Amino acid sequence: MIKNQSDLAHYAKVTSARMMQIMWLTNLAPEIQEAILFLPRIESGPGMVKEIDVRRIARVMDWVLQRSLLTISSAR
């Protein structure tokens, strides 16, 4: 039985820090999560979504603000 985040990290074979990064992604607005899931695979160049940018947006608890931040960061 998984009792806490540390147990979950151990089970998933990742560090506790990485598990925290993954857990933050659950704070993304549902439509942002869905949009990310259906993005075409782009390995470099324009249109590439970087995980670090998504993690920064996920730390914002306001979904309306998340959407505007995503628009700003994808315009770069």
pLDDT digits (tens, 9 = 90+) for 18-66: 999 999 999 999 999 999 899 888 877 877 788 999 999 999 999 999 9
Cα–Cα distance, 41 to 49 (Å, whole number): 10
Residue 76 has pLDDT above 70, yes or no: no
Closest CA to 57 of 74, 39, 37, 38: 74
pLDDT of residue 6: 94
Q: What is the DSSP-derived secondary structure letter of residue 26?
A: G
In this prediction the pTM is 0.73
